[in-house]
Structure 1
């Protein structure tokens, strides 16, 4: 009998006469233990749910891309750990009597999430901080031109403390839904860090017929913003709208000291960059900015592979991992500064 009592799940005590007395836990003790377990899993499930939602929402995805190198790995890791915490809470709710193994899962996932948060700062995108901030004006013909051509450069300049503003000459109605494309252009510029974006409604594919109107608009923007550097399309481009914007910018900025021309998917073989910006850490930012133009999804030059391969090619030219190339029309060192 003594052996049987010692194997019982309830505590046994020796009393007078050598008999064993089995004492069951008090009801209040069991109730308190249940409350503690329920609190543990509820507390674990809430951050798990919040982390999962944040990593899945577009806002959260953009937040990771804009701040971290290898953002998708970090986001995926946190989403998995959050999922474990959430599922452990759901498992406890389904069967509150069997929770020992769930406690282990919560412990491991919690430690993993804390570790990920501690390690995350080492994956932050590294960028310089300008001691003499400059003003940069980027001018494109269509809503997605700037993201495709110099999205990483603009984001890097913005993060360094330079003020970036963008100007788009058409709403792109011939190439898609103009209302949607204007919204996407605004979102893209905001994602790259531009402090302001100005979108005009000159008819795309016919921008050459609005030459003087574009010159007037660009002159007004330059007069108001007074940029140190102007960035626009190259004349070495097959697209007639890109050529028209290049020509209008050259006329409007005829007295400006620093003008750079970027590379578009339609640039010709004569495009010959001699100014390069290292975009290590910013390639995912560029790819995400391009992907925000969902109205143009499906066009071959919008794919992440094409964007990555061009950046790798330009990077190899200057012996770095990824770069964006520019043709200088003229470039004044004192105007560019730490640019």
Structure 2
């Protein structure tokens, strides 16, 4: 059970987190309510526990959180419970209210009940979980930044796994901050590992890192580097991801600046309406923009336009499909046919 705690009383927040973690929940606490929407987008909570007065204060934080995590159940804590307050809470989408201070068992019972209800509703209108795996910060944004933005726009949960902090290509701390900024802009959950840049292996720590995230997020769709790539880290991540995602219904490889002419896409993701988002994601990587020609916005737009000759729309990201056993009744994420190999998200 994933729980986001947004309580302005730090002691109450700490107590709630401790109690819920003791019951087996994965808890994220936010001290500043202004950061709650970003945390909701990244963490995809089942339940949000918040102060009731955040309905009307601090920019209607609870309403904003609900836009980022529409499937989450909302549990509000209030100092006093009256009819008017209860009606206001229900009108704003709360599923339950408790009068503070709340004892541990009552809090756990309420969260478990609301979480089970939220997960049941989510399973009936299930969104896809999309995992994009890259060797270095900015890899996935270059390869499938528009595709990931399209997934988010349709309500899918997006997860980014970056296996190194790119220390050989810049300052690791700077590149880490850039990766965090890009994930926040995209509304993605970010896993950032610190494996050795330019020396990633195909097994061992690399494989373990990818398998760990695959097991945690259980993706329906995985995007990663292709096998035909001049960069050794990209090839290693490709091999590790294909193994780790062996039970994932859909796995595809994106094009990198270092992809060779043997990169041969079989599916084409239309990103019309999401090119500007892709450019904004790439602008997060300011330390690289000054030294990497392939981050030139004009080249990024031209590349998307070039691939549109094989797909639908005016802008396309190419994909090499490795595995596609998505059942017809599942959430459609990519579609291709022999006659017209196009992809839609």
Same fold, TM-score > 0.5, yes or no: yes
Shift of 1:320: 2.1
Which residue is 1:314 aligned to?
Answer: 307
2:295 paired with 1:302: yes
The structure with more strand, counted as a fraction of residues: 2
Distance between the aligned counterparts of 1:165 and 1:247, measured in 2?
19
For the pair 1:202 / 2:178, whether they are aligned, the reply is no
Q: Is the partner of 1:338 in helix, strand or coil?
A: coil
Further displaced range: 315-324 or 154-163? 315-324
1:252 deviation in Å? 1.5
The answer as to whether partners of 2:134 and 2:161 remain within 8 angstroms in 1 is yes
**Number of the residue aligned with 1:331:** 324
Q: Give, in whole Å, the separation in 2 of the partners of 1:332 and 1:142.
A: 28
- What is the aligned counterpart of 1:163 among 157, 168, 187? 157
CA-CA distance at 1:182 after TM superposition: 0.4
- 2:235 pairs with one of 222, 239, 243: 243
- Tell me what 2:271 maps to: 279
Q: Does 1:293 align with 2:274?
A: no
Larger Rg: 1
- 2:203 & 2:194 partners in 1: Cα distance? 13
Q: What RMSD, in angstroms, separates the aligned Cα atoms of the two structures?
A: 1.6
Equivalent of 2:144, from 139, 145, 150? 150
- The offset of 1:145, in angstroms, is 0.4
Give CA deviations for 1:95-153 in whole Å, capped at 9, x if unaligned.
xxxxxxxxxxxxxxxxxxxxxxxxxxxxxxxxxxx954111111000001011110011
The number of equivalent residue pairs is: 208
Work out whether residues 269 and 311 of structure 2, in 8 Å CA contact, stay in contact via their aligned partners in 1: no
Structure 2 spans left out of the alignment, 5+ residues: 1-123, 334-345
State the distance in 2 between where 1:250 and 1:313 align: 28
Could you tell me how far apart the structure 2 residues matched to 1:306 and 1:293 are? 16
Cα contact 1:279–1:323 (8 A) shared by 2 = yes
1 or 2, which has the higher helix percentage? 1
Bigger mean CA deviation after superposition, 239-248 or 315-324: 315-324
Report the TM-score, using the length of structure 2 for normalisation: 0.58
Shift of 1:190: 1.7
Tell me, yes or no, if structure 1 residue 192 matches structure 2 residue 186.
Answer: yes
Greater length-normalized contact order (CA 8 Å, ≥ 6 residues apart): 1
